[in-house]
Structure 1
């Protein structure tokens, strides 16, 4: 029974990763409570530190807004990250090689990158309060 389940589940999982998915965006994700008293430049530093661990390159657009770029093989993504003391958002700015569709879908790789960055930002913001 378990072998039959795996025989069905594994191909479905691989197909899901290889296909397109709705674009994942982070909208008004709460900054961890303990980090809300940090100055804006410390929040920015935590976001940049989170991304640098996975080779994101950052450009400051203005206070409270960054662009993050990632390029691997034939994949390219640029994100707009806006933030303040209470929340942050991550949205797609541009991309190529990610099988973008006109219906708002994109390669699962893109969504994985954004979800991982979101998790890493939360970790860095939580840790930033301990290194004040």
Structure 2
């Protein structure tokens, strides 16, 4: 399990942080973003710290409303300031080295902007309330219809969507709340945002750079299932195919849940 989580993190960091190309653009600073409604027990501070840790930022709180973040990728260094309160945050660049930063023109290597957008996406995903609303119910029904009409994608990068169906739980539990908590703990460790909609049903969302996916996790005392609902920027089609990275993420989540529930 530990080896698998490290693999997830290392592969994510490599994909996100490697400096490629030579594009220069205006510095992207995140303007103030407000979240009046947040997930239960979530705070803006915790969302910033968790997102930063996942993406390799060294985050240090310097006062009650300011966090300084440092990212070092080989010889490339970025230093940012995140100002926050109980409902909002913003991000601005303080310093950069070996990123073609031109302070007078406010320009920088495009990869820096990508890192900041990744950080922004991760923070936002932890602060947006995840609910099984009408839109998701429609998406879920569409996915169910697409599953009935499966056809090969004809591209090696795209595979049939992988669902986990009625996977047995070998360990005996006294109540379903114990299973709920263990699944939620797996989400926290593997950077899935999870929200229990009711006993036996957890809604889960994963964000990897600009790619997102939402699934439902249904569970009883004896088994659990993970089913696809919707995604963005993963090439999902009307024949229940998707970019294979999605399937990898689901199998890693499955591995984590199996390990936690059966040990």
Q: Under TM normalisation by the shorter chain, which class is it?
A: 0.7 to 0.9
> Offset of 1:46 from its aligned partner?
0.9
- For residues 38 and 79 of structure 1, what CA distance do their matches in structure 2 show? 26
Superposed CA RMSD: 1.2
After TM superposition, the score normalised by the length of structure 2 is 0.40
Query: 1:65-109 CA deviation, whole Å, 9 max, x = no partner?
Result: 000111111110111000000000000111111110111100111
SS at 1:99 equivalent: coil
Between Structure 1 and Structure 2, which shows a larger proportion of helix residues? 1
> Offset of 1:121 from its aligned partner?
0.2
> Offset of 1:51 from its aligned partner?
1.8
- For residues 60 and 119 of structure 1, what CA distance do their matches in structure 2 show? 20
Contact 2:173 2:179 in 1 (8 A): no
SS at 2:234 equivalent: coil
- Residue equivalent to 1:10: none
- For residues 89 and 38 of structure 1, what CA distance do their matches in structure 2 show? 20
> Offset of 1:113 from its aligned partner?
0.6
After TM superposition, list the pairs within 5 Å mapping 1:98-109 onto structure 2.
Answer: 98-109=234-245
- For residues 38 and 22 of structure 1, what CA distance do their matches in structure 2 show? 36
After TM superposition, list the pairs within 5 Å mapping 1:111-122 onto structure 2.
Answer: 111-122=247-258
Query: 1:15-66 CA deviation, whole Å, 9 max, x = no partner?
Result: 84xx10000000000012x2x2331011011111112111001111111000
- For residues 37 and 115 of structure 1, what CA distance do their matches in structure 2 show? 23
Match of 1:56 among 188, 192, 195: 192
State the number of aligned residues.
109
Match of 1:79 among 215, 223, 238: 215
After TM superposition, list the pairs within 5 Å mapping 1:1-132 onto structure 2.
Answer: 16=156, 19-32=157-170, 34=171, 36-127=172-263
Q: Which structure has the larger Rg over C-alpha atoms?
A: 2
4+ runs deviating over 3 angstroms? none
Structure 1 residues not aligned, in runs of 5+: 1-14, 128-132
Structure with greater contact order relative to length (CA < 8 Å, sep ≥ 6): 1
